[in-house]
Amino acid sequence: AKSAEDDIARKTGTPTGTARKKLSTSKRLGNQQRTDEAIRNGDLSTEQANEVSSGADASPEDEDDLLDTARRHRLSELRKRAADARAKADRDREARRRRHQALRGVRRWTDDDGMGNLHLRLPPEDMAEVDAALKPRIDRAFADARHAGRFEPVERYAADVVRDLLTGTTDTDSTPARRSQAVRPDKKVIALIDLAALNRGAVEGDETCEI
């Protein structure tokens, strides 16, 4: 199913990431009258509006300072000050927990290469648990691949691990696609052995066994 940002991107001809920022900003503007006015007047770009709004959402008393920064300074400075505003608000652990809980989510989309994408966003303590569960599996997949003679970036094995966990697949090397990746020998051994000796497992008399 198409998301709201996908629909906005299609209607406005903008990238999905830009549409997502616009949507996130619009949801916060109900409590940010001055930022809303600046956007309506065309004083803020999409990037500036997103930074001002996100910073003011975490620390409302910084809204005017962020708007002034947007007018007077580069975007990099605005991003820094917006991050500072969010960090200041995060000194309240409960407020940070609520903010993180409100930001969690999963997004799925197909990119221009036709590849399926999955973006998971979790509070840091939850992501730490996910990392702890994934790391040993990824390390094992990486080591098994090296042992089999396959050499790919670790991110690809990580993708395989996540896919297998989500689909319930446990033996990642059992599929034809996996077997086809196994290394093939680069040397050939030629043996000349009498069939009787081969079946018997030993040479007798003048039977031939040459390698």
Residue, of 144 and 198, whose pLDDT is higher = 144
- Let me know if residue 40 belongs to a domain: yes
Check whether residue 16 and residue 64 sit in a common domain. Answer: yes
Instruction: Give mean pLDDT, residues 25-52.
Output: 90
Give the pLDDT band (50/70/90) at residue 140.
Answer: very high
The domain boundary residue, chosen from 103, 128, 159: 103
Please name which of 102, 116, 123, 124 lies closest in space to residue 162, comparing C-alpha atoms: 116
171 shares its domain with 148: yes
Two structure tokens written together for 65 = 């300072």
**How many domains are contained in the chain?**
2
**pLDDT band, residue 4 (cuts 50/70/90):** low
| Backbone torsions φ then ψ of 110, nearest 5 degrees | -110, 125
Coil, strand or helix: which one is 134?
Answer: helix
* Domain that includes residue 142, residue range: 116-180
Q: How far apart are CA 52 and CA 79, in angstroms?
A: 8
- Examine the domain organization and report whether 20 and 87 are in the same domain: yes
Say what the pLDDT of residue 58 is.
Answer: 83
**Cβ density class 52-89: b for 16+ within 10 Å, e for less:** bbbbbbbbeebbebbbebbeeeeeeebbebbebbbeeb
* pLDDT for res 180: 45
In a domain, 108, yes or no: no
70 or 177: which carries more pLDDT confidence? 70
Q: pTM of the full predicted structure?
A: 0.48
pLDDT tens-digit profile of 58-71?
889 999 999 999 99
Taking the C-alpha atoms of residue 35 and residue 33, their distance in angstroms, rounded to an integer, is 6
